[in-house]
Chain A
């Protein structure tokens, strides 16, 4: 039952979010943390970090989430639920490429969704900050990461690693 629900939630979230890992965060936060209570905010934050550190796309963090909720079967369920929508829609889209690319309606819908995603992400960032900005050093690490990401071309994987070392030393 848990597996079926996990599959349903992750399948729906990944079908609805265009753009990948970060875009799906507001939905994951609402459903898995707030509604179902399967994860804490802290654990969702850990999942993001792990997704960032692992090779490949960030949505691989869903495997960690699935494993946390239902062990190995949960991990496999999460992987299938996450990537099945990509394959299904991708194959359909590949067949009607020209129509999609030139569709004014698709472009208009996406133009409306993108700024909404930005606003929703900011809301989630603040919610995660509530649990992780509890110590001056943590705030410094958070703001430092923001600065590194916006002002340098450093890879996010490296930023996460540096923050982990800084945390082990300072926190």
Chain B
């Protein structure tokens, strides 16, 4: 009887409880402000160093796939980590935990927005923020552009997509699919 118990204790642990996955990602979702890389440092500290649920290698793997699947890379990374820890329920627990804090904040802001929109001070602030968003977008164009436009062909794709959307009002979904097809035709042999 005793030996049996000892053997059972040697089996690999079944992974963290769903509730602790949820709570861990609730914490990550509450405190992780900023871009993907700022948020990744929180992930590394919490999941790899403190709780030791996954290794640094596994986290890197999740990040790589997270960038290839639809949606925000940081949420996808959470989905993949949750899935690794506890299957589909783990993936759902991680996602809900990560998204819930922002959801609540946005709901509150949305209600305030409707209430306060007409106050002159708030209108001024919103106009300032609106102008800043243009600046933020410009910086995103610049920083992504510098990385992905690496030659004449990628440059041409960027200019064509800009012109087709800005001047010809092309359907953006078709534009994306067309660009994917062009990429497949242009770049598939090299690698």
Residues on A facing B (Cβ under 8 Å): 12, 14-22, 25-27, 30, 42, 45-46, 48-61, 63-64, 67-68, 72, 75, 79, 82-83, 85-87, 89-91, 93-94, 97, 100-101, 104-129, 131-133, 135, 138-139, 141-150, 155-157, 159-160, 162-171
9 contacts between A and B (CB under 8 A): A30-B171, A48-B133, A93-B65, A108-B188, A122-B141, A145-B136, A146-B134, A159-B135, A167-B127
Bound-complex Cα distance A30 to B174 (A): 12
Task: Please name all residues of chain B whose beta carbon is closer than 8 Å to the beta carbon of A30 when the two chains form the complex.
Answer: 171-172
Query: Contact: A159 with B136, CB < 8 Å?
Result: yes
B40 at the interface (CB under 8 A from A): no
Given A27-B173, A94-B79, A108-B188, 16 more pairs with CB closer than 8 A: A16-B70, A26-B165, A42-B126, A49-B130, A54-B106, A55-B31, A55-B101, A59-B71, A67-B106, A86-B71, A87-B91, A116-B179, A118-B148, A118-B161, A159-B132, A163-B129
**Interface residue count for B (Cβ, 8 Å)?**
97
Query: Contact: A120 with B175, CB < 8 Å?
Result: yes
Query: Contact: A160 with B141, CB < 8 Å?
Result: no
Query: Contact: A171 with B31, CB < 8 Å?
Result: no
Closest chain A residue to B84, Cβ basis: A94
Q: Is the interface of B mostly helix, strand, loop or mixed?
A: helix
Query: Contact: A163 with B137, CB < 8 Å?
Result: no
Number of A-B contacts (CB under 8 A): 374
Query: Contact: B165 with A168, CB < 8 Å?
Result: no
> Which of A61, A86, A145 meets B76, CB within 8 Å?
A86
Q: Least Cβ distance of B59 to chain A in Å?
A: 13
Q: Is the interface of A mostly helix, strand, loop or mixed?
A: helix
Residues on B facing A (Cβ under 8 Å): 29-36, 38, 61-62, 64-76, 79-80, 83-84, 88, 91-92, 95, 98-99, 101-103, 105-107, 109-110, 113, 121-145, 148-149, 154-155, 157-163, 165-166, 171-173, 175-176, 178-184, 186-188, 191
Query: Contact: B134 with A133, CB < 8 Å?
Result: yes
Query: Contact: A111 with B79, CB < 8 Å?
Result: no
Query: Contact: A120 with B65, CB < 8 Å?
Result: no
